[in-house]
Amino acid sequence: MKDAFVASNDTMAATRAKALIASADHLNLKEVKADSSIVEMANQYIGSISSEAKALVAEPNLEAKRKAFQMISDNMYDLVRTVHFDKEIVYHQYCPMAFNDAGAYWLSQSSDIKNPYFGKKMLTCGEVKDSIDFRGK
């Protein structure tokens, strides 16, 4: 979904959000080797992700969709850390200028900055704030 916002393509963002909703609604937490409180917390994040993705699809313009994307990103970060996602490194990136200098985070599979909040206007504005790597742990 990040790449859709980097490209400032609201149609692609909505399509990716619909795919995220389907994935979230069918996510199998049985593979998560954790106690019930962790699974419950993960389910709360998943519910929030699905709700925000539905809101994103309904938003009328790109800027409103980007705000929903911010909420999805925040919940995805918490989910990845909670379930100890171990398939690849996930980069938590930040743009201090997003939303009138309020700042916003997003997740990326690459450490290269491609800012989804400004697209081509400020493509490389931002920094890696964290990397999550539970591979082999």
Closest by CA to 20, choosing from 78, 72, 60, is 72
Phi then psi dihedrals of residue 106, to 5 deg: -155, 165
Task: Establish if 127 belongs to a structural domain.
Answer: yes
Residue given tokens 């800027």 in the structure block: 63
Phi (first) and psi of residue 18, to 5 degrees:
-65, -40
* Residues in CB range of 61: below 8 A, 6 or more apart: 10
What range does the domain containing 21 cover?
2-132
Our count of domains for the chain comes to 1
| pTM for this model (two decimals) | 0.91
**The predicted structure's pLDDT at residue 3:** 96
- Cβ-based neighbour number of residue 106 at 10 Å: 28
Whether residue 137 is contained in a domain is answered as: no
For residue 112, being part of any structural domain is answered with yes
Say if 20 falls within a structural domain: yes
Provide, rounded to the nearest whole percent, the portion of the chain with pLDDT above 90.
77
Quick one: average pLDDT of 117-122? 93
Q: What length is written for the chain?
A: 137
